[in-house]
Amino acid sequence: MFNLPEGSSVHIRRYESFIQALLQKRVGQPCYNPVKGFERHHILPKALGGEEGFGNKANIVLLTPREHYIAHLMLWKAYGKKMARAFWCMSHVRGSKGRLSGRRYESLKQALPRRGAWNKGIPMREESKQKMVAAKRANPRPAHNRGVPTSDQTKLRLREAHLGRRPSDETRAKMSMTRKGRPSTMSDDARERLTLLHSRPILCVETGEVFRSSIAANAWVKVMTGKVVNTSYVANGKYTHAAGFHWAWHKKDGYQYD
């Protein structure tokens, strides 16, 4: 009836009759009733070859928590090990020795909030926060993909996903406030190497001296003249000179200055 694989024929027939009766009972029923909540159940679970997700409505039936419990109990009896884990998760509570009944499972589901964690909105004590930080520092968990090279296809997909995206002004302000006052973890040697890697040499036309970057040239001008200037504006053509000096980007094959 539901393309179920072979298993215990007695329990499979019981499961099919149970689901068929509930399908007829739930015709036109909304996904969630404010008085009594319903849960979506895969008639043919993924473990038995069914589709993942809730896109195929023909494979979905709305059940109360107790009916959901009974359905998984039937599947466990029909297929044993394949459906054992799903039923275990529904019928056992951490720290308890016995198994929950269907009525107790339904009572717990109705008592717990439908969405969100049980402690949502409750402020955490500072002592608890410090304990969590200390525990993470003592046993840091490495990322699951650490050391695994990223494929070119993944890199391209990530690039296309972020291309053209710009954070809002509010987000940028939050990022700025987060970084303010935070001590830098980069060593002076690493900062020096990074500066050399991304810097662009600039030439002072009057002296013929080449500086490794416009920042270095700005510092030299300040020492020589006491003025704060931006030599890169001159090199880019925005201004004609800075503190009486003309500047141009230095190239390996010489420079061209008009």
Residue 233's CATH number: 1.10.10
Query: Hey, which bits of 177-224 come out as E strands?
Result: 202-204, 210-211
Q: 39 forms bridges with which residues in the sheet?
A: 63
Note whether residue 90 is domain-resident.
Answer: yes
What are the φ/ψ torsions at residue 62 (nearest 5 degrees)? -90, 125
Give 204 or 26, the one with higher predicted confidence. 204
- Asked whether the predicted pLDDT for residue 86 surpasses 70, the reply is yes
- Domain range for 59 is 9-111
Per-residue pLDDT tens digits for 60-78: 888 888 888 899 989 988 8
pLDDT of residue 104: 72
3-state SS of 102-123 is HHHHHHHHHHCCCCCCCCCCCC
Note whether residue 178 is domain-resident.
Answer: no
Per-residue pLDDT tens digits for 99-116: 777 777 777 666 655 555
Looking at 111, 141, 160, which one is the last position of a domain? Answer: 111
Report CA-CA distances (Å) from 254 to 201, 248, 249: 12, 10, 10
Note whether residue 1 is domain-resident.
Answer: no
- Asked whether the predicted pLDDT for residue 178 surpasses 60, the reply is yes
| Number of structural domains in the chain | 2
Note whether residue 119 is domain-resident.
Answer: no
Note whether residue 138 is domain-resident.
Answer: no
Confidence bin at 256 (pLDDT 50/70/90):
very low
Note whether residue 168 is domain-resident.
Answer: no
Note whether residue 52 is domain-resident.
Answer: yes
Q: 249 forms bridges with which residues in the sheet?
A: 202
Per-residue pLDDT tens digits for 48-59: 888 877 777 788
Looking at 111, 133, 165, which one is the last position of a domain? Answer: 111
Note whether residue 121 is domain-resident.
Answer: no
